[in-house]
Structure 1
Amino acid sequence: MNNIFRRFYLILFAGIFQLFSSQSASNGLSDGTLKINTTEKLPVKIFATQSSNKFYNESSSNVPNELIILNEDNIKAESAEHLASIQNILETFKTNKFQFLDKNFKPLEPVFEQKNIENFKYLLKSDKVLKPTDNTELETQFKIWDPMKGIPLGPVMLHFYSLMFIFAFGLGYVIMAKIFKIDGVEEKFLEPLFTWTLVGTILGARLGHVIFYQPELFKEDFFSVFLPISTKGGLHFTGFSGLASHGATIALIFTTLYYSFKIIKKNPFWVYDRIGIVVALGGAFVRMGNFFNSEIIGKPVDPSSPFAILFPQQSSEYGVTIPRYPSQLFEAVGYFCLFVLLWFLYRKTDKKYQQGWLFGLFFIILWAVRFFVEFLKEPQGDEFIQFAGLNTGQVLSIPFMIAGFLIMIYSKKFKLPKEETATA
């Protein structure tokens, strides 16, 4: 048994050392190899960006064997004026002898009507001219995460981020129904809990993001704070692209207080203990949604690192598009492990009778995961709250962790007799 633990700690230490020692900077070009017909290998420099200016400048960079990975911002027009701009940029690439390729590296005619532009996936500048009959693959030391952002459903797109929210609340509802059954609570109290949790999460998360990271939206685009739209450059649907877990937590504390005192009429800590279980699982799904959206990404990492991932669709606000840590997945795994731990403690121990104990533990671990992963993450928006080298997310996490310790200490005063909680 001791040998097993020793190996576990060695693996853990090696992983942590790899995380913090493999960071490196880059000029925006990554190394890869085009494998053509299994026999020929063409070394290439890989480039991607969402910045229109950087994209345009790259057309005249004269980098030998350069492969550009296109993203939605490069080819998807939001207006006639935007389409004209995209066409002008692509025309420059054509003039500079770039080959236009589809997602399978098959050559396409450089015809710049919107229906054709959307088929472009790669631009290649090389003396080697790819033919339709060539079987071409891109090989890299790192992984490339460049998925579709959703499932096309006729004229609309069901974004994976929205789908992850649906999974989070759907599974949360099922698990909370099971918890209510175990505790002998009437099912009629489940619907209002779900409603208040949904409203608190979305509204609090949105307001939290704007207040902590984008306060300028209150002046520049007020309606986008409360609605999934933008009025900049005309009215268009955007979805909520910024949600903050700290804001969601604060809002949930207050909505759960109302639910506890006015609806179910139980000690709020009884509710917090149970809602923390499903929130931990929901947090994992939300971070998976961030992963699909190529947002909340990590800092640059050495391409040889097993954690290195290139996000061609990442926002230009994060800087150059190079291999980075998948910090969304680190958080998702941490939150899922927290869910498993809380569910085990709830089902297999007496801690659910000590009102507040599970909730305090939830606060400590959840915000500790957030605190430590922040060391590997790029800043989100303007980091206007900073202290002792810590960023906004870390500074905001500290009070929640302290609160968790205090709640666990004071939970001894709120013990329930076992007969007051049914078992099933």
Structure 2
Amino acid sequence: MNHIFLRFYLILFAGIFQLFSSQNVSSAFSDGTLKINNKETVAVKIFATQRTDSLINQVSKNVNNELIILNEDNITPESAEHLSSIQNILESFKSNKFQFLDKDLKPVDATLEQKNIENFKYLLKSNTVLKPTDQVELETSFKIWDPVKGIKLGPVMLHFYSLMFIFAFGLGYFIMAKIFKIDGVDEKYLEPFFTWTLVGTILGARLGHVIFYQPELFKEDFLSVFLPISTKGGLHFTGFSGLASHGAAIMVIATTLYYSLKIIKKNPLWVYDRIGIVVASGGAFVRMGNFFNSEILGKPVDPNSPFAILFPQQSSEYGVTIPRYPTQLFEAFGYVCLFFLLWFLYKKTDKKYQQGWLFGLFFIILWAIRFFVEFLKEPQGDEIIHFAGLNTGQVLSIPFMVAGLIIMIYSKKFKLPKEGTTV
């Protein structure tokens, strides 16, 4: 048994050491190998970017055996003028002998019509000319995360990010229904709880992001602050994006306070204890949505690290497109662990009768996860708050952790008798 624990601690130590020691940025290229028909191999330099100017510059650099992974922004026009610009850029690559490939690394017709451009996924500059019959695989020391971002339903795309929100609230509703049943609470209080939590989460998260990270939107694109649209470059649907967990936390605390005092008429700490369990599970889904969107990315990491992932669809705000930490998954894993811990304490111990204890613990662990993962994250927008080398997310997390500790200490004053929990 001791040997098993020793191996576990060694693996844990090795993982932590890898996390904080393997960051390395050498250039905008990543190394890979094209394996053709399981025989021939071609070492390639992989490049990806959202920036139009950076993409144009690659045409003239004449890098031999260069493989460009197209970002969807490179080939998705927002207007007729934009389509013309995309066609001109792709024409430059065509003139410079780049091969146009689809998602399976198969050569495709390089006719630059819009319906054809949608099939382009890779551009290859190499003396090795690929044929439609070739079986080609791209091998890398890191993983490449390049999925579609949603499900197309006619002219509208249902984004996986939005689906993750639906799953988060759906599971949250189910969990809270089970909690109310365990505590003997009338189901009539479930619907208003769901409604107020939904409003608080979406509104608070959006306002929090704009206030802390993009305050310029209040002047430049006011409607986008409150609606899932953008008016920049014409009116278009964007879905819900740019959401900050700190803002959501503040607003949900406020809406839950109203729900507790005016609707269910219970000590707010009783409700907060239970909502913490729901939020922990929901937070994991939200971070999975960020993973699908290639956002909330980590800092560059050594391509040989087991944590290294290339996000070809990342936006330009994160810098060069090279292997990075999947910090969304780190947070999601932490929130899943927190959910199971809180659920165990709620079900198997008497802590749910000490009003505020579970909520205080939830606050401490949740924001501690956020605080430490921030060390590996790239900045989100313009960081307007800095202190002692800490970024905005870390500075905002500290008061929440302190609040959690204070709530746990004072929870001893709000104990309930075990039979006094029903409504």
With normalisation by structure 1, the TM-score equals: 0.98
Question: 1: CA distance between counterparts of 2:106 and 2:9?
Answer: 48
* Aligned-partner Cα distance in 2 for 1:104–1:323: 21
Once residues 384 and 34 of structure 1 are traced to their aligned partners in structure 2, the CA distance between those partners, rounded to angstroms, is: 43
**In 2, Cα distance between equivalents of 1:272 and 1:8:** 35
Instruction: In structure 2, give the amino acid aligned to 1:187.
Output: E
Instruction: Report deviation, 1:3.
Output: 3.8
Question: 2-side partners of 1:75 and 1:243: how far apart?
Answer: 26
**Local SS of the residue matching 2:60:** coil
2:281 and 2:336 in contact (8 A); partners too: yes
1:255 paired residue number: 255
Contact 2:29 2:322 in 1 (8 A): yes
Match of 2:132, SS state, is coil
The residue aligned with 1:345 is 345
Q: 1:419 is paired with a residue of what secondary structure? A: coil
Note if contact 1:23-1:301 (Cα within 8 Å) is conserved in structure 2. Answer: yes
Q: Within 5 Å, give how 1:125-164 maps onto structure 2.
A: 125-164=125-164
Alpha-carbon separation, structure 1, partners of 2:263 and 2:3:
52
What's the secondary structure of 2:45's corresponding residue?
Answer: strand
The aligned residue for residue 20 of structure 2 is 20
1:414 aligns with 2:410: no
Bigger mean CA offset, 389-398 vs 106-115:
106-115
Residue-by-residue CA offset, 1:265-305 (whole Å, 9 max, x unaligned): 00000000000001000000000000000000000000000
Q: String of CA shifts for 1:335-358, please: whole Å, max 9, x gaps.
A: 000000000000000000000000
Aligned to 1:326: 326
| CA distance in 2 between partners of 1:415 and 1:2 (Å) | 40
Comparing 10-19 and 294-303, the one that deviates more: 10-19
Amino acid at match of 1:156: V
Unaligned runs of 5+ in 1: none
In the alignment, what sits opposite 2:361? Answer: 361
What CA distance in whole angstroms lies between the structure 2 residues aligned with 1:3 and 1:407?
Answer: 40
Q: Which runs of 4+ in 1 moved over 4 A?
A: none
Asked whether the equivalents of residues 201 and 251 of structure 1 are also in contact (C-alpha less than 8 Å), the reply is yes
User: Does the residue aligned with 2:41 lie in a helix, a strand or coil?
Assistant: strand
* Alpha-carbon shift at residue 113 of structure 1 (Å): 0.8
3-state SS of paired residue (1:324): coil
Are the equivalent residues in 2 in contact too, given 1:32–1:138 (CA < 8 A)? yes
Post-superposition offset of 1:240: 2.3
Distance 1:97 1:242 in 2: 39
After superposition, the CA RMSD in angstroms is 0.8
> What is the Cα deviation at residue 123 of structure 1?
0.2
Question: Structure 2: how far apart are the matches of 1:355 and 1:5?
Answer: 36
- Provide the TM-score with structure 2 as the length reference: 0.99
Structure 2: where are the runs of 5+ without partners?
none
Amino acid at match of 2:366: L
| Aligned-partner SS, 1:355 | coil
Separation (CA, whole Å) in 1 of partners of 2:233 and 2:286: 29
* C-alpha contact (below 8 Å) 2:281/2:339 kept by paired residues: yes
Distance 1:12 1:416 in 2: 40
Amino acid at match of 1:155: P
Query: Does 2:207 align with 1:215?
Result: no
In structure 1, distance between residues paired with 2:158 and 2:77:
19
List per-residue Cα deviations over 1:89-115 (Å, max 9, x = no partner): 000101111000111111112111110
CA shift for structure 1 position 6: 3.2
Say how many residue pairs are matched. Answer: 422
Aligned to 1:167: 167
Residue equivalent to 1:383: 383
Task: Judge conservation of contact 2:162–2:239 (CA < 8 Å) in 1.
Answer: no
* Paired residue secondary structure (2:103): coil
Q: Do the aligned partners of 1:149 and 1:159 also contact (CA within 8 Å) in 2?
A: yes
The answer to whether 1:91 aligns with 2:68 is no
Q: CA deviation at 1:26?
A: 2.7
How far is 1:8 from its partner? 2.5
Please tell me the residue identity of whatever aligns with 1:406: I
In 1: Cα distance, 2:411 partner to 2:312 partner: 47
Query: Which residue in the other structure is 1:42 paired with?
Result: 42
- Work out whether residues 26 and 322 of structure 1, in 8 Å CA contact, stay in contact via their aligned partners in 2: no
Q: Secondary structure of 2:42's match? A: strand
C-alpha distance in structure 1 between counterparts of 2:261 and 2:228, whole Å? 32
Taking the aligned partners of 1:4 and 1:35, their CA distance within structure 2 comes to: 40
- Contact in 1 for aligned 2:102/2:122 (Cα 8 Å): yes
